[in-house]
Chains A and B, each alone.
Chain A
Amino acid sequence: MLHIDIKKRLFGSEGEFTLRLKQDVNRGDFIVIMGESGSGKTTLLRIVAGLERAEGEIFVDEEVWLERRFSLPIQKRNVGFVFQDYALFDNMSVKENLLFVNPDDSLARRLMEMTGIAGLSSRNVRRLSGGQKQRVALARALMRRPKLLLMDEPFSALDPRMRKDLREKIRRLHAEFGTTTLMVSHDIIEAKHLADSVWFVDKKVEPVAPDSLEKLLYA
């Protein structure tokens, strides 16, 4: 479903390096991307979304997103993106944030119910807690029924109980919306619970089986 073969020059803590990735992803897969800070995990998501340039090619279901000099505009890629800092539209209410993406009232209502924010529908997003903002960001990312859902450390600011709750919601949404998901995470528990496959980013991206994560990380 998703074919990526890219490289990109990056500046890390130990100087310049080239991030390389060549992977194919099946429809409906849940990929967790792990790796050290500054290894290029976020950049990888941004390249797929079209927010950053890279050399190489990206195909999604026969559609060309990136190839040689061609790069499909961000607006046409139809990805759902959950930023680490949520990046909600501050001037809008919860519901307006969703409807801005796609004026589908019944879908907005359904997503707000599934993420447990229906009661906050008309509240300005500046007045929400971190966990609530996180769920709005998740609901908003699904408003275009994206083929690809990209999430940048959605759990980082949450306490353990909320992590478990959000994990369940993400799992349900991923299944119900039939998305293919790439999620950056630091957390081995999230990776084990959610991932079909884990990509370990260290200049080159290596896939590992979720079950062998402990061996890799604690060896």
Chain B
Amino acid sequence: MSIDWTPFILSFKLASLTTLILFLLAVPLAWWLSQSKHFLKPLVETVTALPLVLPPSVLGFYLLWGFSTDTAVGRFLSDIFGHALPFSFTGILIASCLYSLPFMVQPLQNGFASLNPHMIEASYLAGKTQFQTAWRVAIPNIKPALATAIIITFAHTVGEFGVVLMVGGAIPEKTRVASVAIYDLVEQMDYASAHLYSAILLALSFFVLMAVYGINHAHTKRFG
């Protein structure tokens, strides 16, 4: 039996891009959340955590509605990307970024919050700006949190199903990622392929989590 790797390649591409985009957005956001005493902070935290508790169908429904060219936002987005977003790769990428946001932000925010506040103050006393302090003092001192955030976000995106299916459907080579492909195979009663695909995803998830715990364990052993 030959394996069609396309869904895995698509999953990998989606997860890589989601992780990259979220990393760039989440580092400043998590830093701000960890340092801020602004009255809007609880609101921002709530919005960031929403995807953790929201059914994927709710997020998917609002995204489809927002992407629709019947709405001003949808028309604006279609103009930017040059095509309608539902059932496109760009569409599931945006959906993934929203859905995985807390998995990137929360480990980073916890990492920043666990730093000795005097160390951050010492950097300000050395004349350094917020940006210099984050870049040269804070970020290098939360390496385990960085690794956790990146790996978990990647793994979570690979494991995404509901929101991708709703926004992207199952268009081969465009939106039919591995998790959706398994659903398709089961519907077609092709259990042999479903078994194989599932086993691959299971193994992948196992090793990803193993890597996270391994890194954290090694770091704890080294620095206590």
Contact = CB atoms under 8 A, between A and B. Distances in A.
Interface of A: 49, 51, 74-81, 83, 85, 87-91, 100-102, 126, 140, 143-144
Given A87-B118, A88-B119, A74 B124 contact: yes
B118 A83 contact: yes
A107 to B, nearest CB: 14
Interface string B135-154: 01100110000000000000
A89 B137 contact: yes
A81 B122 contact: yes
B123 to A, nearest CB: 7
A51 B120 CA distance: 11
Nearest to A98: B126
A143 B125 CA distance: 11
A188 B203 CA distance: 65
Given A100-B136, A126-B223, A90 B119 contact: yes
B121 A91 contact: no
A17 to B, nearest CB: 23
Contact size class for B? 10 to 19
Interface in B70-126: 116, 118-119, 121-126
Nearest to B130: A75
Give me the 9 closest cross-chain CB pairs, A-B, nearest first.
Answer: A87-B118, A91-B140, A101-B126, A74-B124, A83-B118, A87-B122, A87-B119, A75-B127, A81-B125
Contacts of B124: 51, 74-75
25 contacts: A49-B125, A74-B121, A74-B124, A74-B125, A76-B127, A78-B127, A79-B125, A80-B125, A81-B125, A83-B121, A83-B122, A85-B118, A87-B118, A87-B119, A89-B141, A90-B141, A91-B140, A100-B126, A100-B128, A100-B137, A101-B127, A102-B126, A126-B223, A144-B126, A144-B127
Nearest to B222: A126
Contacts of A75: 124-125, 127-129
Contacts of B116: 85, 87
A89 B123 contact: yes
Given A75-B129, A100-B128, 17 more contacts: A51-B121, A74-B121, A74-B125, A75-B128, A81-B125, A83-B121, A83-B122, A87-B116, A89-B141, A90-B119, A90-B141, A91-B137, A91-B141, A100-B126, A100-B136, A143-B126, A144-B127
A32 B8 CA distance: 67
Interface of B is mostly: helix
A58 B209 CA distance: 54
B125 A89 contact: no
With a 10 A CB-CB cut-off, give which of A75, A77, A101 has the most chain B CB atoms: A75
A76 B124 CA distance: 9
Nearest to B143: A91
Given A100-B136, A126-B223, A89 B127 contact: no
A89 B128 CA distance: 13
Contacts of B122: 81, 83, 87-89, 140
A121 B101 CA distance: 41
Contacts of B126: 100-102, 140, 143-144
A85 B118 CA distance: 8
B141 A87 contact: no
A81 B121 CA distance: 10
Contacts of A80: 125
Contacts of A77: 125
B120 to A, nearest CB: 9
B138 to A, nearest CB: 9
A90 B125 CA distance: 16
Contacts of B136: 100
A155 B27 CA distance: 38
Contacts of A74: 121, 124-125
A87 to B, nearest CB: 3
B13 to A, nearest CB: 33
